Chain A
């Protein structure tokens, strides 16, 4: 899962990004409106955390322009909690709204819900044969037994599971599992896939040669 954070307060930006990375997300950061809109326009993020008060281009403007071209889930982050601000945010096309100061756990839960909804899933649990993925706990169960996965491996499983039945290209996987700061070593993805197969069974992830990977 790759997430963009647009926030002009550097300390806040840094800590949210760090916390999200530790949760296993790939995180891109933008310190102002122009940079944020540029990134949102050019990458397909799984979700965007967008501050309202931004230099150069404010959150409303980014949202308005983005909605003309993309349906990326957007979570607005603002210090204004008046009803009319919330209504304006939701009407402009925001998918959710978090008021500062917030708890990180709440922000994460809302992000998970946003991502789940955008994949048309209504529950936290995805069941594929004997394998059960709990997206709230970020845990995978094989025959009711918890399987230890690294954050990146989990992200790979979750992304493929959310796109079950579709062939996901390597490029798309790279875009959603690694952020802008990581060098995309092409065999890194193969390593993760092979590790997941070892833990969850060789047949769990199918390779479509020349196309990509798929969970059937």
Chain B
């Protein structure tokens, strides 16, 4: 199975994707918040350092009074040597001593914890011993140097300006005092960066765990909700392989898939019934054909066993003819049924008087009835209907023949034709042995015989064909019977 075409995998993929996006958004936000918090802490730290140095600088100078404004002068050679005129140092720098309470801020062993104070003009007042070589002071220095005036970005700023260098894990801040000094401090951000990395690792781990649990849970839910589909498809596979007795095992009848399974189950049941009916019909048809074939075979084989007289041959040929006639009638009936089933039978649509058809049929059946001592009584009204008079005549003949055949000797057959509630109503009643109530609907089934014997000569298809013809005319046929009293068949056809 292609996993990109499988619903299960596609659901899982989308689900996982959405989960990843949500987790990533959540993680990014948390990371940003933590980062802001840590950077705020660094700001505070730098600020504290600047404040300590500021207050130490503003203490009244112990010996030397403050002089004039020094000329703008670059710091000592090194980083700044290319910017200012070297070697000039007209005024001694203001003296500065790191107060003891600030000592813990500037640990000499940490190269990132430094301070650097210059006067306006670039003269260095003090610097810590551990100022790193690579420290970059350029941005502010550039500004101050290029315009030869106090840089616009640092006019009496009370807030420090920051420069962070993540590669060196340090951060620097500079503040220009109103008196003109610039205080430059640095501190290490390694602990914060470590903390931040730890936080991001924690977030990643947390996210991964949630993702794993989420995917597993999603897989479980998807599998669970798709389980009926698996059941449906496995049942359908078995059914398509020919086992029509298979049904879908429905655990949750209320869910959408449960309802679908119920619908499919009832479809399967109807399919099975239809197949069984078809199989029964085929088997019955084969059965009906087998008996006449057996007759022909045994007759012919017996006759051929030895030489026979002419009359014996004649008998054999007559028996074979009877068998062949029987097969022909059966084949014609089967074909008629098959055509009616398929809707291929083209029925004529002509208006005619049903009275004429019924009385003709009654005349036709009369000789057979007289042979058996059965009397036929008719009470017929003129009724105009539309349809195929030939086909309907077959129906009437069939009903009359049955009424005669299944009658008792000296019995009666009553045929009544009238119009009632917009329908033509034909009733054929006999005084025969009757049909048990449970068999009423079955008499119209193909090959069904109430008496199980073939002795009556019919092939068990007459009533099935009659029903099909009447229904093709938009009518109905039904039977009512009382055992040992008689049977009545009622045909209703729409009036023309």
A-side interface residues toward B, CB under 8 Å? 8-9, 11-12, 14-16, 18-19, 22, 32, 53-56, 58, 79-80, 82, 99-105
In the bound complex, do residue A101 and residue B290 qualify as a contact, i.e. CB atoms below 8 Å apart?
Answer: yes
- Report if A54-B453 is in contact (Cβ < 8 Å); known contacts: A12-B291, A100-B293: yes
User: Do A100 and B291 touch (CB < 8 A)?
Assistant: yes
Judge whether B453 and A19 touch: CB under 8 Å.
Answer: no
Instruction: Please measure, in the bound complex, the distance between the C-alpha atom of A56 and the C-alpha atom of B455, giving whole angstroms.
Output: 11
- Partner of A15 from B319, B322, B451, B455 at Cβ < 8 Å: B319
Contact A102 B453 (CB under 8 A): no
Question: How far is B322's CA from A12's CA once the two chains are assembled, in angstroms?
Answer: 11
Q: Name B315's closest neighbour in chain A (CB-CB).
A: A14
Q: Is B298 located at the chain interface by the 8 A CB criterion?
A: yes
Known: A80-B287, A101-B290. A15 touches B298 (CB 8 A): yes
Chain A residues with CB under 8 Å of B293's CB are 100-101
Size band of the B side of the interface?
20 to 34
Residues 294-309 of chain B, each 1 if its beta carbon lies under 8 Å from chain A, else 0 = 1111110110011000
Q: Is the CB of B297 within 8 A of A101?
A: yes
Return 17 A-B CB contacts under 8 Å, by A number: A9-B295, A11-B295, A11-B322, A12-B291, A12-B295, A15-B302, A16-B298, A16-B302, A18-B302, A53-B452, A54-B453, A79-B291, A100-B294, A101-B293, A103-B297, A104-B302, A105-B301
B286 at the A interface (CB under 8 A) = yes
- Docked Cα-Cα span, A105 to B302, in Å, equals 10
Q: Give A75 Cβ to nearest chain B Cβ, in Å.
A: 14
| Chain A residue contacts of B455, Cβ below 8 A | 8, 32, 55
- Shortest beta-carbon distance from A211 to chain B in Å: 38
Give every chain A residue within 8 A of B283 (Cβ-Cβ).
80, 82
Per DSSP, chain B at the interface is: helix
Decide yes or no whether B323 CB sits under 8 A from chain A.
yes
Looking at the complex, which one of B286, B301, B451 makes contact with A19 (CB distance below 8 Å)? B301
- Inside 8 A of A9's CB, which chain B residues have their CB? 291, 294-295, 454
Cβ of B452 and Cβ of A58 under 8 Å apart?
yes
Instruction: Report the minimal beta-carbon distance from A11 to chain B, rounded to whole angstroms.
Output: 4
Q: List A contacts of B287 (CB < 8 A).
A: 53, 79-80
**Those 7 A-B pairs whose CB atoms lie nearest each other, nearest first:** A55-B453, A79-B290, A101-B294, A79-B287, A11-B319, A100-B294, A101-B293
In the bound assembly, the distance between CA atoms of A102 and B453 in angstroms comes to 21
Contact indicator B453/A56 (Cβ below 8 Å): yes
Having A15-B298, A79-B290, A100-B291, one finds 20 other A-B pairs with CB under 8 Å, namely: A8-B453, A8-B455, A9-B291, A9-B454, A11-B322, A14-B319, A15-B299, A15-B316, A16-B302, A22-B306, A32-B455, A55-B451, A56-B453, A79-B288, A100-B294, A101-B296, A103-B301, A104-B297, A104-B301, A105-B301
Contact (Cβ within 8 A) B298 A12: yes
Measured between C-beta atoms, what is the minimum distance from B188 to chain A in Å? 93
B residues in contact with A82, CB < 8 Å: 283
Instruction: Give the chain A neighbours of B319 by CB distance below 8 A.
Output: 11, 14-15
From 311 to 337 in chain B, residues with beta carbon under 8 angstroms from any chain A beta carbon are 316, 319, 322-323
Q: In the docked arrangement, what's the CA distance between A58 and B453, Å?
A: 9
State in angstroms the CA–CA spacing of A32 and B456 once bound together.
Answer: 13
Q: Tell me how far the C-beta of A138 lies from the nearest C-beta in chain B, rounded to whole angstroms.
A: 13
**A18 CA to B298 CA, complexed, in Å:** 10
Q: Tell me, in angstroms, the Cα distance from A15 to B319 when the chains sit together.
A: 9
For residue A103, which residues in chain B have a CB less than 8 angstroms away from its CB? 297, 301
Tell me the smallest distance from the CB of A194 to a CB of chain B, in Å. Answer: 27
Question: Could you say which residues of chain B place their CB within 8 Å of the CB of A53?
Answer: 287, 452-454
Across the interface, name the chain A residue whose C-beta is closest to B454: A8
Kindly list chain A residues whose C-beta atoms are within 8 Å of the C-beta of B288: 79
Min CB–CB distance B479 → chain A (angstroms) = 22
Q: Which residues of B contact A32 (CB under 8 A)?
A: 453, 455
Question: Complex Cα distance A159/B454, Å?
Answer: 37
